[in-house]
Amino acid sequence: MDYIVRGGNRLDGEIAVYGAKNCALALLGASVLTDDQIILHNCPVISDVENMLLLLRTMGKKVLRSGDTVVVSGGLNTTAAPKSVASLLRGSALILGGTVARYHCAELPLPGGCAIGARPMDIHLSGLEALGVTVEHTADAVYCTGVPKGAQFTLRFASVGATENLLCACALAEGESTLANCATEPEVAALELMLNEMGAEISGVGQSLLHIKGVARLHGADFTVIPDRIVAATYLSAAAATLGDVTVRDCVPTHLDAFLNVLGTRFNVKRYENAVRLRCDALPDGYGTVRTAPYPLFPTDMQSLLLSLAACSRGKTTVCETLFENRLEHNAEQLNKMGGDVIVKGNVATVHGRKLHGAEVSASDLRGGAGLTVAALCAEGMTKISGIEHVNRGYADLAGDLNSLGADIVVI
């Protein structure tokens, strides 16, 4: 699947954000903790979520979708995730902690996802071992057995996925647990809130130090997936790249603080209770130096968007990617095909902005594909972007959404 983008159109108008992929996947992973109904509203219709639902269904869960509402109920009839489905998405790893906690065993093929770095599961597994779970693994799969027991564990890095898996494991563990250096992303806080609605006892919601009192049983919950801050940032980036005027509704502006702090000094940015408006009158003289880091600092998932904005600016930008070792290289190469001046050394990209032109480029990952789409919107002429199936993992209809604001994108 490809995008054909004719650049040069100014984007203008309003657009609403839908539910966050990374929130929905974590909440769906937690559904294995109970046989009761987990009802999720604002659940996005994107391929990663549909593959997660397929995984749960394949393992025995009953799954119903009506629009953006998903109902998951019943128990698992196998604790071994089938490789054919689990390999479709990185988020399949999020069933591990809950499955071990509920059924005291789990088998997980090493998950798939984007090719942006190693993204090891060592923190997940070390945490489970600290809880008394026996962990064995081969080059292709992980095997966990045992009853989780309360313990103290410090994550060596504030990993979102590891925090989510360990929260699920601790929720049904025997005794009390303390998790330190946890991820504090809004999607993690949403999981903590839903687990508490299910009967868990988690103290410190949204903080890096969490205390969990294990309970014997969790029940169902009715919960709403939070808005997708990465999708919101994509729309705002498209406005910035095209000298546009776009209002993004149904978002949480505080979730975008690090991103908006970079753009807000260069564009007219107004924050409302649940919306952000960005108006751009002229391209900026670069974006200074930006380093990716765990929340609440600048997100790695917005780095590709910033790289594209820097490439079409009028000045110098330095982007330092501290989380994923391969995330800069591919998009830098593709932007240079469009006339960009991006030099990558190690984990640092030095960008001198210039006028971009159309070219044939390819997306190798979800966020990179969105970033290339933003670059194509401001490029002169036509750009063909292949590999758009990666974009569909996290965007319901990126082309249609941008076209509603005045873009010219054809999907072929």
Which two structure tokens, joined as six digits, stand for 376? 């194509």
Helix residue ranges per DSSP H, 138-179: 160-171
User: Distance between CA 389 and CA 343 in Å, rounded?
Assistant: 27
| SS3 category, 302 | helix
For residue 342, list its beta bridge partners: 351
- Contact between residue 221 and residue 198 where contact means Cβ atoms under 8 Å apart: yes
Tell me how many degrees the CA angle 124-126-132 measures, rounded to the nearest 5. Answer: 110
Q: Which residues, in sequence order, are CB contacts of 178 under 8 Å at separation 6+?
A: 151, 152, 153, 209, 210, 211, 212
Identity of residue 386: S
User: Distance between CA 132 and CA 207 in Å, rounded?
Assistant: 24
Check whether the bond before 296 is cis (ω within 30° of 0): yes
Residues assigned a catalytic role: 114
Tell me how many degrees the CA angle 48-50-54 measures, rounded to the nearest 5. Answer: 115
- Contact between residue 148 and residue 173 where contact means Cβ atoms under 8 Å apart: yes
How many angstroms separate the most distant Cα atoms in the chain?
Answer: 62
User: Distance between CA 240 and CA 230 in Å, rounded?
Assistant: 15
- Beta strand 105-109 pairing with 288-291: unpaired
Q: Please, what is the angle between helix 229-241 and helix 366-378, to 10°? A: 20
